Chains A and B, each alone.
Chain A
Amino acid sequence: MSETTTLPGVRAAERKAPPVKSFADHALVQLTLVRFRETLREPEALFWIFVFPILLAAGLGIAFRNRPADVLKIATTSPEIARSLAHEKLLSVQQLDSNAAEEALRTGKVALLAVPGSNGSVVYRYDDTNPEGRSARMLADRAEQQAAGRVDPVRTSDQLLREPGSRYIDFLIPGLLGMNLMGSAIWGMGFTVVDARRKKLLKRLIATPMPKQYFLLSYLLSRILMLVLEVGIVLGFGAWIFHVPVRGSLLDLAVVCLLGSLSFSALGLLLASRAKTIEAASGLMNAVMLPMWIASGVFFSAQRFPDIVQPLIKALPLTAAIDALRANMLQGANLANMAPQMGVLAAWLLVCFVLALKLFRWR
């Protein structure tokens, strides 16, 4: 029948020597491209990977920014007192009639009310359980005494310290980076694998001559490509808007991110190795990720948990990733300093990957 085989392209008789394919037509390149395209064409995924961490960093960075000391509002009924208090820059003085002044104090619009007492004295009315009231009392009294001629016996001066590296945003950015590494790897791996299994696409793929290891490799390769973008965007945003420092070597940082991402990908693969529905997979993924979001020190230090659970928390992959990122970015630690964290990540990678390969089902 070989003489009848004229399907465009080739004849069955020519099957001996497969033609050499171009690089772009290699199965691994095509699989990786497909993974990359699928991710970039999923608007929701792009939001969670790229926009969400920036919004979170911006929101928390603004909410917890280090503000200059607040100007406290106070009131007085006397023009003389108002004049002498006006010299204090940290106070904003309003002169009101006595009814309005009482009302303003009662409703908390002013922290303190200064009224003239008998024989030229001044009476401060304020709530001493309110820190603003106590601060206002000290500031107002200092201004009043200085206006009356008091001279401080010791000369003092202030030196203000607002250094990058010790602020909340500096603590937060490495935490968000770690959280992002985990989320994108686990979601990226878990959802797409389970979805392909549910749609019987995995079964269709193994019905072709596709080498099975290429399928897995394509996930890792596209993950590394995405990683460059994800880490770049969060770090770039932190450095540009909040001047978050990166004190360690960038190469070390890249190694930490890569190892972290691979460990989380292996964990994602393990979680997705059997699940047949998206619901089952997302339940599993949330059950694994939620405790780490809370315990691994994304938003606040993991040291706040009791000593007895500390070894457990330190063994979590997200804790290891975030601790290593913070050590690199804030303390300038090198890879040798981060060996314990790297060890934890490598162990997770190995165990999850071996288990996932054992448990994985194509259908």
Chain B
Amino acid sequence: MSVGSSKPALRVSGLRKAYQDVVAVNGLDLEVRAGECFGLLGPNGAGKTTTVEICEGLTAPDSGDVELLGMHWNSDAERLRQRLGIQLQDTQLSEKLTVFETLRLFRSFFDQGPGAAEAISLVQLEEKKNSRVGNLSGGQKQRLALACALVGDPDFLFLDEPTTGLDPQARRQLWELIEKFKSYGRTILLTTHYMDEAERLCERVAIMDNGKQIALGSPHELIASICAEHLVAFSAGSNSKKLDVSALRGIQGVRDVRSENGSVEMQVTELHLAVPALLAELSRQNIPLTELSTHSATLEDVFVSLTGRHLRDE
């Protein structure tokens, strides 16, 4: 491959794209290193898909520059297309064709790559080889879409929300396939609004909101950046008897407290100290606890801590 380990596989600088009155991407800089799986995270409408489609050469940016595998869309489009694997958000492949016919068609566009039958076994669809696409389950369709992206033996793979709408089992199956592809040393740019997906698959993630990057790092670094290892969520109090939230901030090991319609979320570093202290404070205020749960901090909590919103709030 012409891209050395020092040179990024994808470099995006100063990207801007506006549709009518909406600014979808607002001055974005990104670098994806060769051989890594890079996650682009954010809620719906954050500008992920627009960014990816600009990188894929499907949408022209208003301004900014995209350098992909050392090439540019305006001068090397044909050579670039041969080296990219692309999965778009909700493409519906022709339902009347079989899995094999579909892959044979996509394979015919590329100079080289695995044959249709080989691509089918890559995504473990052998027993569906001669089934019509219309008869496949959602997970099988997504695997076929992945196979269509792999038939050209791509150096760079774009996956736009590859597991949206799938059941947990189908999602895990697809993750395993993506991990297998990663192990071949290829570069992946993945968008998702599932934080667990990014944590599992990505070496580095960029969190996007309103067309801008608001955080960048490995999932581990990002989680560490909010200085809390655990999240404690509970419900207590009522309209007549309000909980005094400010008293909670003084508890040892509590980093931050957010309260929303009677449910409270605390970022905590030392769970074993914070929970007994919380219970003591509640009984001092004489407020009964109605719900309590704790979990280790995730990228979702990073997003909440950065924006004050949950990822899936539309």
Contacts and interface: CB of A to CB of B under 8 A. Distances in A.
Nearest to B1: A12
B97 to A, nearest CB: 6
Contacts of B184: 4-7
B76 to A, nearest CB: 12
B110 A209 contact: yes
A9 B94 contact: no
A21 interface: yes
B139 interface: no
A209 B92 contact: no
Contact of B107 (A19, A25, A38, A363): A25
Contacts of A13: 1
Interface stretch (A69-77, A199-207, A223-231, A256-264): A199-207
A26 B108 contact: yes
Contacts of B106: 208
A9 B81 contact: no
Given A38-B96, A201-B94, A7 B153 contact: yes
A30 B152 contact: no
Nearest to B155: A12
Interface in B79-129: 81-84, 86, 88, 90-94, 96-97, 101, 104-115, 118, 122
B274 interface: no
Contacts of A21: 108
B112 to A, nearest CB: 5
Interface residues of A, number: 40
B58 A207 contact: yes
Secondary structure at the B interface, as helix, strand, loop or mixed, is loop
B104 A18 contact: no
A204 B91 contact: yes
B35 interface: yes
Contacts of A37: 96-97, 101
Contacts of B271: none
Given A10-B112, A12-B155, A38-B97, A203 B91 contact: yes
A29 B58 CA distance: 25
Interface in B147-185: 148, 150, 152-153, 155, 181, 184-185
Contacts of A12: 1, 153, 155
B197 interface: no
A349 B94 CA distance: 28
A209 B115 CA distance: 16
Given A1-B34, A9-B114, A13-B1, A31 B105 contact: yes
A203 B148 CA distance: 14
B279 to A, nearest CB: 53
A34 B93 CA distance: 12
B78 interface: yes
Contacts of A355: none
B35 A30 contact: no
B56 interface: yes
Given A1-B185, A4-B184, A208-B106, A10 B113 contact: yes
B246 interface: no
B5 interface: yes
Contacts of B56: 207
B92 A4 contact: no
A30 B94 contact: no
Interface in B20-69: 34-35, 56-58
Contacts of B122: 8
18 contacts: A1-B1, A5-B1, A7-B150, A9-B115, A10-B112, A10-B153, A12-B153, A15-B112, A30-B104, A38-B96, A199-B91, A203-B91, A204-B148, A207-B88, A208-B86, A209-B81, A209-B152, A210-B109
Interface of B: 1, 5, 34-35, 56-58, 78, 81-84, 86, 88, 90-94, 96-97, 101, 104-115, 118, 122, 148, 150, 152-153, 155, 181, 184-186
List of 10 A-B pairs having minimum Cβ-Cβ separation, nearest first: A18-B111, A4-B185, A9-B114, A199-B92, A209-B81, A30-B108, A41-B96, A204-B91, A208-B109, A210-B109
